[in-house]
Chain A
Amino acid sequence: MAVYNIRHVTRYIYEEAVPVCHNVAHLLPRASPRHEWRFAEVDISPAPAVRTDREDYFGNRLTFFAIQEPHLELEVTGRGQVAIEPRSELPKTKVSWEEARDQFAIRGSELLGEMQFSLDSPYVHSTEEVAAYGRESFAAGRPLVEAVLDLTARIHRDFAYDTKTTTVSTTLPEVMKARSGVCQDFAHLQIGCLRAMGLAARYVSGYLLTSPPPGKPRLVGADASHAWASVWVPGEGWLDVDPTNNLVPSDKHITVGFGRDFGDVSPLRGVILGGGRHQIEVSVDVAPVDAECNGNPQLPNF
């Protein structure tokens, strides 16, 4: 059992006062298998005039808030503590990818919730190029899990991690061309490949514990939010895969929410009036907690 304290701070600094802003945050975690959340909160400064916490269409927890007095700075902090069980082993099922696909062809099936993730979404269009890339992993009759892991490894091998080549609005064809990107791009790519085969795949947003370089202390705030993909396996449920790190998440990946793509679970979105230019500072800290002392002396804030 791994226990973490998580702190995710986003700060906007405006050149001119912003009289009104409306925002939507996906920072509160939903219940997930193997996750036990001890607490989770979102703090907003300045205090919003309106705040509503609710579930979104996909069952994620969403925070809507509005600040209605002039402010030069906005700080939104998501924090919480979670205990995670490691994943025991990979699903043993030998079900082929075609069988998984054909489940959705049955009209009036019980799989409506899964089926919706097999279709195009605003950030993920399975173009012919994406489909062709993915198809190489899906020989006829190949077991689904094996094919998916092969695809995960190929993306990891063929695409370079590079924070410079893409932005939040980079499309899949651009990622295919650049052959590089970040976790969001790789997750979208894998989802696109899977959907092109008729499979259901969703986008998972969360955090990842990063290990400090050998001999160096762990730097507070140096971690980052993370994203990966998840594929539906008949008889087993959803299987997470992380193409950025070529692995199946266990107890170092912390799930916050999921959707069809980035757009459904963007951690913080907002629309402001005026404000001139603005700066953004983001820091994410995933701090392992010694299960014995149940706290972290390094982080008095928790």
Chain B
Amino acid sequence: MNPLMTPTPHSHAGAGHFAGFCKSYVPPVGLFDEMEEPDGSVRPHWLMFSTLLDDLGAKELQRRWETARQLIHDNGVTYNVYGDPAGMDRPWNLDAIPMVFDPVEWGRLETALVQRARLLDLILADVYGPQRLLREGLLPPELVFAHRGFLRAMHGVTPPQGRWLHMYAADVARSADGKLWVIADRTQAPSGAGYALENRLVISRALPDVFRDCRVRRLALFFRTMREMLENLAPQNKENPRIVLLTPGPFNETYFEHAYLARYLGYALVEGGDLTVRDNRVFLKTLGGLQQVDVILRRQDDEFCDPLELRTDSALGIAGLVQAVRSGNVTMANALGTGLLECPALMMFLPRLCRHLLGEELRLPSAGTYWCGDATARSHVLANLQRMVIKPTFLNPHRGGEVVFGEGLSGEGLSALRERILASPRDFVGEEQVTLSTAPVFVDGHVKARHVVLRAHLIGAGDGYSMMPGGLTRFSAAADSMIVSMQRGGGSKDTWISSTGPLDTFSLLAPAGQVIEISRSGGDLPSRVADNLYWLGRYTERAEAVARLARGIAARLPDQNFETSPELPVLFTTLIHHAIHDGIPEPGTRPEEWLARVLLDDQYPHGLQATLTAVYRTASLVRDRISIDTWRIINRISQDLPGHPAPRDLGGQLNDIIPGLDRLILTFAAFGGLAMESMTRGFAWRFLDMGRRIERALATVSLLRGALLSETEREGPLLEAILEIADSSMTYRRRYMATLQVGPVLDLLLADASNPRCVAFQLDRLAEHLHELPPTEVSAGLPMHSAIAALQGTDMRRVAEVDEEGHRAGLELLLNSLSKTLHSISDAISQGYLSHAVTSRQLAAANRWGN
């Protein structure tokens, strides 16, 4: 740092105070504020930052912050909110002002939390081993035995290096007297480290100068340590072990973080269904076959990990995983069973457990915790009910119920609560509420005070633990709210600790000078992902086909009389057959009603609405595989059509629906273009494209079958409509001028391999894709080439000939045979490549105990 640039407290008027826009910051009286002393002066460790921020000015901060928010949006940083349909993929709320921590205090915090992590690990070793703590009465056995998180199947299974807790996070808060407290322990699969990293990325880009001058400690080293730790966990000290990140899936609240961390650390992101157990070993199901997994970084709750030996109602688990762990063939991080320690009652016993297990005093106190199963603690809770938070001891829906704040209860509510506690005391824990400290938050151009909680992250390293020099600071949604929760609309901050020594500028993203193994194979694409991409391709194409057909009809409706225009009924039957299988227009049903059903009613599985829903759902499942731009397109699809409730009749809205369909068709064109131009030609792209090709060919076959098998009176308008729907009018006109005849139309749509809308073209693409994929028994000898040859050798004018009943028997034969070929290709793809994607399920319980 250039010493001339160093701002000192004396370089500004009103030393220690915010000079510029920050002076409007007024923290609440009587609480601890992280930045300001009670006399209004700035705490020393904030001085550098606040001065630099003042220099920057509110306007410039606002400008930079808008760019940063765009970055968050573009990166698709989200946080899912449960039980809120609109809350799926809520954008991540990050504050422009970081939380600045005193480096000396940070050192003390690290020492204390390392002690706590060691202590928790020793408790796990005892509970899953000799259980001396329970026998000797140091830890009430109920807290273990009645807790769902105590996994009996894991008892007696010692993990590698004797460590259960590899990753640990503590929620740390500061009370009004300035003391730090642990208010929650996260031992299951702590979230937040990935969000902390993303926060750092955004803030350091928005405030590069401030970030540099504050000499903020970097995070990358922490993640390198994490990677080394996970590599060392591989059984038999394997070199280059395969490590995967196990996620419960896109509906999890922190799915974004799972995908983000997997990408950052270079691990495959997998769901339970992607893994399978053979010979007591865990394998990843990929297109290239089964590949053994050595270490599983687990972001799924442990009891859901194995439907055979843990929770039998889990749909997310891997049957046989527990046995594979027991056999020592795979390591879980954290070990299965660590969730037990999130029991809030445990905090009450930590001081004496710490003395017993470590021979030390617990360095950092927990929020005052009183387990009502203990008589003394119970009396305390009952005597102070009004200032307690009452929590359920066990994760048991039948016991304890919701978290209750005594503060807000009436006299009646309090006595009801008292009775519930007395009826089954051990199910309740009383907690004293810590009055959270405040910190400045940048809201709408102003700096306001919000309550904050820090989540600090630790990982097992060597004999002990090391802490991330930073973390995820979360703040409350409102100044008067003590609830700090991303679920309830709060936000987050980057956390800065300035360095006193040299900065480690190591980066995981660009390991300069390090030799990276070039990888081009893509053979480790999980079968599930290939399956989802294949269906994403099919659904987008299917939706486009319906939209094109419907647009063709809608555009003709206002001008023509339904009864006298010969092409309309034919197109209509085709559409209805296509979108509503076996649907026949009832006499008297207005065409506008039918259009409304086909387009907007989601009860028809092949209708437009249901297909679009399928597009969105399938795309969500492979979000980590599609680009941000593609995701934006997918997002737009849902906005192109009128939403719910679906109108019964489109009579009045025909003029609106046509532009809507136009937009939708353009959106699909953009999707197809991006797929062609921005995806590497790996297996992922091939499966997406195969799905599109199959579906497009099927749609053309279905259109011709519906429209041309029987001759209609005047075929000109019908042929024109077909060419328009199949997006081939221009080509036709160029080749054949204005003369419309069935034969040439068939040739253009079936046999002309230079037309990208033609069936022969799709078959050609499919042949190329299958040639590039790893060969399977079923994919060998598929009839793509012979089908193309047959199409091209056929005289379509003869196929177009009509018999005396007005029927085109030759065309029917040809279309039937094409349809069979296409289905056999589709089956071969499913059986050859996607059969691993089959899900597992429980055998019905055989032994119903009778008698």
The interface-forming segment of B129-137, B250-258, B684-692, B733-741 is B129-137
Residues of A within 8 A of B156 (CB): 57
Please name all residues of chain B whose beta carbon is closer than 8 Å to the beta carbon of A12 when the two chains form the complex. 843, 846
Q: Which of B307-355 touch A at CB < 8 Å?
A: 307-309, 312, 319-320, 323
> Closest residue to A279 on the B side, CB-wise?
B844
Q: Does B705 contact A (CB under 8 A)?
A: no
B153 at the binding interface (Cβ < 8 Å)? yes
Contact indicator A24/B309 (Cβ below 8 Å)? yes
Interface pair A271/B847, CB less than 8 Å apart: no
Q: Tell me the smallest distance from the CB of B567 to a CB of chain A, in Å.
A: 45
- Which listed residue (A49, A128, A267) contacts B279, Cβ 8 A? A49
Main secondary structure of the interface of A (DSSP, over half): mixed
Question: In the complex, are the beta carbons of B308 and A22 less than 8 A apart?
Answer: yes
- State whether B849 touches A271 (Cβ < 8 A): no
Q: Is the CB of B841 within 8 A of A271?
A: yes
Can you report 15 residue pairs joining A to B where beta carbons are below 8 Å apart?
Answer: A20-B276, A64-B323, A110-B135, A115-B145, A116-B145, A120-B146, A128-B423, A163-B850, A183-B851, A205-B849, A208-B851, A210-B851, A244-B851, A264-B152, A280-B844
Minimal Cβ-Cβ distance residue in A for B839? A273
A-facing residues in B237-287 (Cβ within 8 Å) = 276-280
Partner of A168, one of B155, B396, B845: B845
A66 to B308, CA, bound (A): 11
Is the CB–CB distance between A108 and B849 below 8 Å? no
> B276, A112: Cβ atoms under 8 Å?
no
A157 — which chain B residues lie within 8 A by C-beta?
none
The stretch that binds B, out of A92-100, A223-231, A294-302, is A223-231
A127 on interface, CB distance cutoff 8 Å: yes
Q: Which residues of A contact B396 (CB under 8 A)?
A: 120, 125
Q: Is the CB of A115 within 8 A of B308?
A: no
Contact (Cβ within 8 A) B146 A119: yes
Let me know if B842 is at the binding interface, CB within 8 A.
yes
Contact B137 A107 (CB under 8 A): yes
A68 interfacial contact with B, CB 8 Å: yes
* Bound form: Cα–Cα A125–B137 in Å: 25
Which among A50, A128, A182, A205 is the interface contact of B280 at CB below 8 angstroms?
A50
Would you list which residues of chain A between 94 and 130 have a CB under 8 Å from chain B? 107-110, 112, 115-116, 119-120, 122, 125, 127-128
Known: A112-B135, A125-B398. A271 touches B845 (CB 8 A): no
Closest to B145 in A: A116
| A42 close to chain B: CB less than 8 A | no
The 7 closest A-B pairs by CB, nearest first: A108-B137, A107-B137, A224-B850, A271-B319, A57-B152, A270-B843, A267-B847
Contact call B312/A280, Cβ cutoff below 8 A: no
In chain B, residues 795-851, which have Cβ atoms closer than 8 Å to a Cβ of chain A?
Answer: 838-851
* Given known A22-B277, A115-B141, A270-B308, contact A182–B842 (CB-CB < 8 A): no
In the assembly, what is the distance between CA of A269 and CA of B134, in Å? Answer: 31
Report chain A residues within 8 Å CB of B636.
none
B506 to chain A, nearest CB (A): 43
B-contact 0/1 string along A194-234, CB 8 Å cutoff:
00000000000100101000000000000011110000000
Alpha-carbon separation in the docked complex, A115 to B140 (Å) = 11
Contacts A66-B277, A182-B850, A184-B849 known; 17 new A-B pairs at CB < 8 A = A10-B846, A10-B847, A20-B278, A24-B309, A68-B278, A68-B279, A108-B137, A119-B142, A168-B845, A182-B851, A244-B851, A266-B845, A270-B842, A271-B307, A271-B308, A271-B840, A280-B843
CB A59 to nearest CB in B, in angstroms, measures 11
User: What bracket does the count of chain B residues touching chain A fall in?
Assistant: 35 or more
Distance of A109 Cα from B279 Cα, bound (Å): 42
Residues A224 and B323 in contact in the complex (CB < 8 Å), given A112-B141, A263-B312, A270-B308:
no
Q: A49-B279, A68-B278 are in contact. Are A167 and B843 (CB under 8 A)?
A: no
Query: Chain A residue with minimal CB distance to B848?
Result: A168
Task: Return chain A residues, CB-CB under 8 Å to B399.
Answer: 120, 125
In the complex, which residues of chain B have a beta carbon less than 8 angstroms from the beta carbon of A2?
A: none
Minimal beta-carbon separation of B833 from chain A (angstroms): 15
Contact of A57 among B155, B278, B307, B423 (CB under 8 A): B155
A278 at the interface (CB under 8 A from B): yes
A262 at the interface (CB under 8 A from B): yes
Q: How far is the CB of B374 from chain A (nearest CB, A)?
A: 9
Whether A274 sits at the interface, judged by CB under 8 Å, is yes
Interface presence of A291 (CB below 8 A): no
B131 touches A112 (CB 8 A): yes
How far does the alpha carbon of A222 sit from the alpha carbon of B442 in the complex, in Å? 76
CA of A268 to CA of B850, assembled, Å? 15
Given the complex, which residues of B lie within 8 Å of A58, measured CB to CB? 152
Closest to B313 in A: A169
Contact pattern, A 243-286, Cβ under 8 Å of B = 1, otherwise 0:
01000000000000000001110111111111000101010000
In the assembled complex, the Cα of A271 lies from the Cα of B277 at a distance in Å of 11
Distance between Cα atoms of A49 and B131 in the complex (Å): 35
**Given A20-B278, A68-B278, residue A271 in contact with residue B323 (CB < 8 A):** no
Q: Are A269 and B277 in contact (CB under 8 A)?
A: no
Interface string of B108-144 (1 = CB under 8 A from A): 0000000000000000000000010011111011100
Determine the chain B residues whose CB is within 8 A of the CB of A266 once the complex forms.
845, 847
Task: Report the minimal beta-carbon distance from B421 to chain A, rounded to whole angstroms.
Answer: 15
Check A119–B145 contact: CB distance below 8 A: yes
Determine if A23 is an interface residue (Cβ-Cβ < 8 Å): yes
Q: How far is the CB of B275 from chain A (nearest CB, A)?
A: 12
Which listed residue, A68, A107, A227, A271, touches B843 by the CB 8 Å rule?
A271
CA distance A252 to B600 in the complex (A): 66
A88 beta carbon closer than 8 Å to chain B: no
Q: Which residue of B lies closest to A64 (CB)?
A: B323
Q: Which residues does chain B contribute within 8 Å of A107, judged by CB atoms?
A: 137, 140
CB distance from B148 to the nearest CB of A (A): 8
Binary A-proximity of B642-679 (CB < 8 A = 1, otherwise 0): 00000000000000000000000000000000000000
Q: Is the CB of A280 within 8 A of B850?
A: no
- Bitwise interface map of B from 390 to 401 toward A, beta carbon under 8 Å scored 1, else 0: 000000101100
With a CB–CB cut-off of 8 A, which chain A residues contact B423? 128
Enumerate chain B residues within 8 angstroms of A127, measured Cβ to Cβ. 398
Contact A116 B847 (CB under 8 A): no
Q: Which residue of A lies closest to B281 (CB)?
A: A50
Query: In whole angstroms, how far apart are the Cα atoms of A259 and B491 in the complex?
Result: 46
Chain B residues lying within 8 Å of A169, measured Cβ to Cβ, are: 845
Which chain B residue shows the least CB distance to A117?
B145
Chain B residues whose C-beta falls within 8 Å of the C-beta of A280 in the assembled complex: 843-844, 846
Nearest-neighbour CB distance to chain B for A129, whole angstroms, equals 12
Contact of A22 among B153, B319, B398 (CB under 8 A): B319
Which residues does chain B contribute within 8 Å of A50, judged by CB atoms?
279-280, 323
What B residues does A116 contact at CB under 8 A? Answer: 141, 145
Docked Cα-Cα span, A225 to B848, in Å, equals 8
- Return chain A residues, CB-CB under 8 Å to B280: 50, 66
| A residues near B138, Cβ cutoff 8 Å | 108
Please indicate the chain B residues that have their CB under 8 angstroms from the CB of A115 in the complex: 141, 145
A50, B131: Cα distance in complex, Å: 31
Query: Which chain B residues lie closer than 8 Å to A22 at the CB level?
Result: 277, 308, 319-320, 323
Q: Is the CB of B145 within 8 A of A108?
A: no
With A57-B155, A64-B323: A268-B847 Cβ-Cβ less than 8 Å: yes
A44→B278 CA distance, assembly (Å):
18
A269 and B843 within 8 A (CB): yes
Q: Which residue of A lies closest to B309 (CB)?
A: A24
Residues of chain A with a CB closer than 8 A to B838's CB: 273-274
Most buried by A among B136, B148, B398, B851: B851
Question: Once the chains are docked, how many angstroms separate the CA of A63 from the CA of B311?
Answer: 18
A267 to B849 Cα, complex, angstroms = 9
Give A105's nearest chain B residue, CB to CB.
B375
